[in-house]
Amino acid sequence: MSRKLEEKFPLTKYHIMTTSTDRRFALKKIIITVLIMSISFLFTASCTKREDSNLINISATIFPLYDFAKQIGKDKVSARIIVPAGADTHAFEPRPSDMVRLANCKLFLFGGSETEPWAIPFINSVDNKDMPVIDISQLHEHMHSHTHAHPHNHTHSHAHTHSHAHTHTHSYDHDHSHSHIWLDFDVNIKTVEAIADALSKIDPANAEFYLNNSKNYIEQLRKLDADYRNAIKNFNRKEIIYIGHSSFESFVERYGLKLITPYESYSPNVQPSAKAIATIIDEIRNSGAKIVFHEELINPRLARTIATETGAALSVLHAAHNITKDELRSNVTFIEIMYQNLENLKKALSD
Ligand SMILES: [Zn+2]
């Protein structure tokens, strides 16, 4: 035991007052108390280092939600992505330190149980039952619940209107086409409104601040959407050759593009079959596509093989599940990632 702790808990007192058995018990009790105090101190220290107690702690499972929280809360919030930089957001397993942090969390944001199946068990495991939770798949359901039955009659509560073709020309199993909905900029507008609303309830004194920030950010999302639509109008090709797990279905559906991929599921870990790889190589040769896309955060081994085989170049289509440590350090934003995707798509689809 260090001198400091001895000073704090003088042992001599117990030496005098207790029998030998009692003394051992007393000593044990002191050690346990000190250990508990040290552990709680360490946890408090690790939280306060990153999460100032005056700030509103927000936890997000995926990068876009973390970024939205920062854009709206700015210096009044401490936002974090629960999944470590560079790690897979779909198959994440929360650690004990995540549970400690979640106990102090004021707002929890996640992409839905399809993409983050661990999120609901995680929040249920922590005693923080009053914490508001925003599940963006529910926002999406709410927006699109009647779209399929009446494709021309649906309305949105915001001023911006658009038409969904819903022709389903892509080769996907439609069951998964509404996952990864953070790549739908209309859903993002709803998400931003929901975050501003939640922050205004948590911190009513700054409600106007959150509302103004959300309005500014929604303008940026609308501009992003308009820039995509204007660029895509001029594309000569509609097919994106994508060697990655299913992430861009709602995105391609939205912009009338088509995704060609050998992956058959939305798990990054289920490798495509040899037959699917042979088929995509044929499709690239037949279409004359010059660029093969791969997903972020993985070694693009398969994409490189397919590119080499067909003489195509490699490029990234970033689905923004998560970002690397370098991207985190450089404070990259969701909107920047989406504009980089647009540049990469222009190069691939304009020829
Ligand atoms: Zn994914």
Residue 243 φ then ψ, to 5°: -95, 80
pLDDT of residue 203: 98
Distance of CA 115 from the midpoint of ligand 1 (Å): 7
Q: Residue 294: CB partners within 8 Å, gap ≥ 6? A: 242, 243, 244, 300, 302, 303, 304, 314, 315, 316, 317
- How far apart are the two ends of the chain, measured CA to CA in Å? 72
User: Rounded to the nearest whole angstrom, what is the distance from the C-alpha of residue 266 to the centroid of ligand 1?
Assistant: 6
Q: Separation of 179 CA from ligand 1 center, angstroms? A: 8
- From residue 77, alpha-carbon distances to 50, 57, 58, 203 in Å are 11, 6, 7, 10
For 293-309, write each residue's pLDDT tens digit: 999 998 999 999 999 99
Can you give the pLDDT at residue 79?
97
Q: What is the pLDDT of residue 148?
A: 43
Cα of 265 to ligand 1 centre, how many Å?
9
**269 CA from centroid of ligand 1 (Å):** 10
- Residue 246's pLDDT is 85
Tell how far the Cα of 238 is from the centroid of ligand 1, in angstroms.
Answer: 22
Give the Cα separation of 79 and 256 in Å (integer).
34
- Reported residue count of the chain is 351
Scanning the structure block, which residue is given the tokens 């042992």?
A: 11
Residue that the structure tokens 């504009």 belong to: 339
Q: Which regions in the chain score pLDDT beneath 70? A: 1-52, 145-178, 266-268
Task: Specify the pLDDT at position 2.
Answer: 39
Q: Which pLDDT does position 53 carry in this prediction?
A: 75
E strand or H helix that includes residue 254? helix 249-255
The pTM assigned to this predicted structure is: 0.78
Q: Output the CA 216–ligand 1 centroid distance in Å.
A: 28
321 Cα–ligand 1 center, Å: 6
Query: For residue 141, what pLDDT is reported?
Result: 81
Distance 244 CA to ligand 1 centre (A): 9
H/E run at residue 28: helix 20-50
Q: How many A from CA of 36 to the centre of ligand 1?
A: 40
What is the Å distance from ligand 1's center to 61 Cα? 12
The residues, any chain, with a CB within 8 Å of residue 92's CB and separated by 6 or more, are 61, 82, 83, 116, 118
Give me the percent of the chain exceeding a pLDDT of 70: 74
CB atoms within 10 A of CB 152: 8
DSSP for 107-144, please give it. EEEE--TTT-TTHHHHHHTSS-TT--EEEHHHHHHHHH
Q: pLDDT value at position 310?
A: 97
Considering only CA atoms, which of 335, 254, 329, 248 is closest in space to residue 294?
A: 248
- Taking the centre of ligand 1 as the mean of its atom positions, its distance from the CA of residue 270, in whole angstroms, is 12
In the reported structure, the alpha carbon of residue 5 is separated from the centroid of ligand 1 by a whole-number distance in angstroms of 50
Distance (Å) from CA 17 to ligand 1 centroid: 64
